[in-house]
Structure 1
Amino acid sequence: MQRVNELVSMTGWQGERQKVEWGEIERRLETRLPADFKEICEVFGRGAFCGYLELLPVDSAGPRSLLGRWTAMKERWANPRMRARFEPYQVFEQSGLILWGQSVTEASYYWLADASESPETWPIVARTDPLEELHRFDVSTSEFICRVLTDRDFRPFSVASKVKSLYFESYG
């Protein structure tokens, strides 16, 4: 988990490790989640990197949590306008999109998940706002977060030129 350690080092994070019941989350999704994402959630907990990139909560099934957002997306998928916003992708049901994070400026970060493949190989699909095009990145969750925070050329997602110092803000 080298990239997760980089995130800890870059942000100076010193919070307590969180206990997460991954079994229930993965049972409901019917797939495992990427190990680096699980590590990030356990190390950092609820919160946002640089007050910008927020991890969806995994410690509940509330409407704003990873499971809650996935459930809502599945329920709205029958609407053709909803489906059109995500073409050529679909909501996850053995394969498809699972939202794992968002930004305070309406960017959305998904895995292009496939239950038949290792979650470590899932690409990231993201967009800067709900009406913009989706971009695909063949990187891990932790690498994607690192690049958003530090790579000035990681357009259109980078905040590196806007953030003076890196930090993680816990939502406790």
Structure 2
Amino acid sequence: MARTILIPTDFTVTSLNIAKIAMQKSCEHHEKINLILLHGLMASTSITELLFYSKRKVLDKLETPEFHASCKLLLAKFEDKIERMTVDIFSGINQSAFENYTSANRVDEAFIPVNNKLKLKNSDSFDMIPFFRKSKLKITEVKWEDFSLDVQKEYQDQLSAMFFTHGRIAH
């Protein structure tokens, strides 16, 4: 049975580096991985918007072409390890809802950034890191080092950012 790894995303290429590091770390084990990239987004309070709500349309608006292409690169690089990779939205408002989400998706482990804050471009997006930290999941923190700010700004939302960042598991 495949292990499920949960990773927060802000739909930037840089946030996918956590997924890349998670996959590199899981290559030590010989098992398939289900990868869930999760974004926190407040649900609308408008009845009209809720009636015509489509998760696919919301994701299409949030995903950049660079993010989409980087996901394809990640899938190609780890095609023998990734059984399934999904991008999902979490709209819960409390820790209990988050625990229910992780339980329903049979999440085994989560990888989160230590010192790289997610860049939330949508006004309805919210930081999910506190939910991750309070959860019962096994958490692996990824620490960004050896990555100067000039290089980070230069490669921030480009495909090449998948190959020019250096992350290390925090101890």
What TM-score results when the alignment is normalised by the length of structure 2? 0.28
Report which structure shows greater RCO (CA 8 Å, sep ≥6).
Answer: 2
What TM-score results when the alignment is normalised by the length of structure 1? 0.28
